[in-house]
Amino acid sequence: YYSYRAARSKKKNTFTQYCVGIKMSDTDDNMTPEERLDWLRERGVLIETAEERKAGITTDADATEFVSFVRIPSDASQPMTELKLPVGAAGTGDLLQFHLKSAFSDKRSVDIGLLKDQAAKNFGSEEIPEISESTLHSVAAEGSVEVFRLVPPMESNRYRTINFYLDEVGLLKKLSLNTRASQYALKAGFNPAPQFYGDIYVGRLQNKPVTKNIDFKLGEDTSFDAVWLTKAMTENLDFQSKMNQLTGKVGELQPLADGEDGFVKEEEDCKWTQTDDEIEVIFTIPTTSSRDVKVRFLPSSLEVLVKGVKTFVLVFFSRVDPDGCTWTMEKKGGHVDLILSCEKVEAVTWPRLKRES
């Protein structure tokens, strides 16, 4: 599915939509600012105005009502919990994205190298913006909320959106994968399922006649048999079809993660491939007997010793099951390929092989 960004001009009281090469001005230059805002929001574009930001700052004491939303912990052993969003009398727009900033605010370090890897993969090395490490740490400390639209606003669902709210730099903070959130996305028609990092919050947004947060309840809405979820795949496909008609383009596939679909990823000291369930790593060593090779598998790392000398140490991006790890050797001319197969603890795609220090 496409992502959208809307920007308000400082000189003109107009909105411009950047959506896969099409501008909103291509459709109607005679809309009022309010009509343009409605047009964008009907198509699932998430927009915040200064008025909505101001209205979103509501304390429990000032609240005139409370709206339910749900937290999905990244730790699958912890239960999901229902929380309350305080809403003031003037509260319109998606207030939950402002309310949750403090939930993602911390001083955890971020991996700027991983940011560059992901940017190069998605945008090309020529288009990577220059971002200082101090700026990235500042953004992480302040708290930045990313909104992932799980279900678009459609007439069939009375223009009600289901959104995930997540830490925008969760991957860069090396937060744990949230497998339950990915299961919901898969059920909603996102295949392969996106990967989410850290705790995820899920809420419901009414888009007509005004935009406002409404209840998303633990139990009736979090069940995999919930009405909204059983309709989600069809609604996402219908929405995508309409967007294709607007843009004249077929939905583009997201780039593959490193090592997927049999494409070998080259590292300085090894090469590797992956599936959802397994990582295969190949080291090159001098020709030798298997008696001279020892491999030690640990949950977060591995060590390779050749003739008693520690030759390779690899710290994995995520955990593996040592009991599901094996190794073999394959002679290649004047050297040997040492092939290690490691079973992942969580059946998800890794963005990289190694965990950076």
Strand partners of residue 148: 164
Q: Render pLDDT for 49-58 as a digit per residue (tens, 0 to 9).
A: 655 555 555 5
pLDDT band at 288 (very low <50, low <70, confident <90, very high): confident
- In this predicted model, which residue has the larger pLDDT, 244 or 225? 225
Nearest to 208 by CA among 170, 260, 153, 248: 153
Q: Does residue 228 surpass a pLDDT of 50?
A: yes
Nearest to 15 by CA among 44, 39, 50: 39
- In this predicted model, which residue has the larger pLDDT, 261 or 201? 201
Please calculate the CA angle 69-183-220 and round it to the nearest 5 degrees: 40
Give Dmax over CA atoms of the chain in angstroms: 79
Q: Render pLDDT for 35-89 as a digit per residue (tens, 0 to 9).
A: 776 666 565 555 556 555 555 555 555 667 899 999 999 999 999 999 999 887 5
pLDDT band at 241 (very low <50, low <70, confident <90, very high): confident
Q: Mutual orientation of helices 133-142 and 112-123 as an angle, nearest 10°?
A: 100
Q: Render pLDDT for 93-151 as a digit per residue (tens, 0 to 9).
A: 888 988 898 888 876 655 656 555 655 555 455 455 566 666 666 666 666 889 999 99
